[in-house]
Structure 1
Amino acid sequence: MNHRPIVALDFPNRQEIETFLSYFPKEESLYVKVGMELFYQEGPEIVHWLKSLGHDIFLDLKLHDIPNTVESAMRGIARLGVDMTNVHAAGGKRMMAAALNGLKEGSSDGKPPVLIAVTQLTSTSEEEMHTDQGLSCSLKESVLHYAKSAEISGLDGVVCSALEAADIKEATRSDFVCLTPGIRPQGASVGDQKRVVTPAKARELSSSYIVVGRPITRSEHPYESYLSIKKEWNGEI
């Protein structure tokens, strides 16, 4: 196993990313997450620039709209050359299938980005799910329902808590992608996350990818923190 943690570039602009990346060797190829904050400020150019530096990109825009709109948006996203992107599973099977179709149509090389669906945000507690979303099932049942819907729709996997990854793979298939945010090294602040685990625990729980933000991006020594988390994620420490 030699997997890279996905680094969440939750910065407001390119300038701050340039400062952050200056701590890394130029030849270090990263897997980075570009989310709403950054994409809405810098636009598609931020994706082109990061790709030019040799980094892989998870474009985390969590699309959720009528099927036709999502399909059209995904055609454009495919043309950006990102490696992974996502939708909200709550948009339903027709929307997810439309998203996949848009990615396929927009991919000039016939190899669309990995497409995954958000189940329940790792910042959401079971109580909040009940009160805010009006769902009477358990959080685990909700996550599994969304995961199975994503698989039926042809998607590659889901965004979920590492705590749910093993159950999702059992309910779907062993190669179904479980990308897990909410990763914190032992002793780190959990911030606004509710369902968190360490990199080592995520590995034990069958996560396919882990996303790490502040423990790396807000570290006094970002590269050293990145290497430490990468080693733990790969079972080297």
Structure 2
Amino acid sequence: MNESRPIIALDFPSFDDVKSFLARFPEGEQLYVKIGMELYYAAGPEVVRYVKKLGHWVFLDLKLHDIPNTVKSAMAVLANLGVDMTNVHAAGGLEMMKAAREGLGSQPKLIAVTQLTSTSQEQMQDNQNIQTSLAESVIHYAGKAAQAALNGVVCSAHEVEAIKAATTDDFICLTPGIRPAGSDLGDQKRVMTPSAARAVGSDYIVVGRPITQAADPVAAYQAICQEWQS
């Protein structure tokens, strides 16, 4: 199946908001959507089942980070929901990532968060006391994720080329912080346009507010798709 399309971040506070938003798209159009913490905590697993029933792909963005056994058990539950992709925090360590892979099974894609795209190098060094460069931290985490047999990482598009060089060409780089030219950056610090992300080798891009808060979300999505696929 061809999953090469922008992932829409369904960052809505309620199940009803999701239903209204998805109803604006043509019937039968298959989307790839991200369900994050806000929506999952508000609506629970039923929202995943609903979106899957509509025929869409789901990236469940819960960023698990706990002891290995807890993460393994939680991943087994998520696997039963039929998610297509989910994630953990690479900071949880190699054994936790291996446990996540074991709990989820081999079919859904499993990726790891390196450094959030809202994090600057100064914040990382001050708040996390990681005294390398931001790029070195991201590449280190990517290597550990590959060692744990994960499919890839969540990273800024600015780090894609270095990660590909340090791992393999088929190691997934999923990049949030994507903004069309002229868009408000919001709380993102390391951003890139869809076409630029494609040029550096991003495998997936995640776009939220430029689509979900647009006056015409369908037109905004189609424009980003066109830029991404061109």
Q: Please classify the TM superposition score into its range, dividing by the shorter chain length.
A: over 0.9
Query: Match for residue 108 of structure 1?
Result: none
| RMSD between superposed Cα atoms in Å | 1.0
3-state SS of paired residue (2:179): coil
Query: How far did residue 21 of structure 1 move?
Result: 1.5
Query: TM-score scaled to structure 2, two decimals?
Result: 0.98
Q: How does 1:28-47 map to 2 (within 5 A)?
A: 28-47=29-48
3-state SS of paired residue (2:8): strand
1:207 to 202, 206, 228: 202
Tell me whether 1:54 sits opposite 2:55 in the alignment: yes
Tell me whether 1:154 sits opposite 2:140 in the alignment: no
- Give runs of ≥4 in structure 1 deviating > 6 Å: none
CA contact (8 A) 1:7 1:216 kept: yes
- Residue 56 and residue 2 in structure 1: after superposition, are their counterparts in 2 closer, same or farther (change >3 A)? closer
Query: Match for residue 129 of structure 1?
Result: 124
Amino acid corresponding to residue 217 of structure 2 in structure 1: P
Query: Match for residue 178 of structure 2?
Result: 183
Structure 1: how far apart are the matches of 2:172 and 2:156?
Answer: 12
Deviations 1:182-229 (A, max 9, x none): 000000000000000000000011000000000000000000000000
Query: Match for residue 22 of structure 2?
Result: 21
Amino acid corresponding to residue 63 of structure 2 in structure 1: K
Query: How far did residue 22 of structure 1 move?
Result: 2.3
3-state SS of paired residue (2:130): coil
Q: How many residue pairs end up in the alignment?
A: 229
Structure 2: how far apart are the matches of 1:50 and 1:189?
Answer: 28
3-state SS of paired residue (1:178): strand
Query: Match for residue 107 of structure 1?
Result: none
CA contact (8 A) 2:6 2:204 kept: yes
**Uncovered stretches (5+) of structure 2, i.e. residues with no partner:** none
Tell me whether 1:101 sits opposite 2:97 in the alignment: no
**Uncovered stretches (5+) of structure 1, i.e. residues with no partner:** 105-110
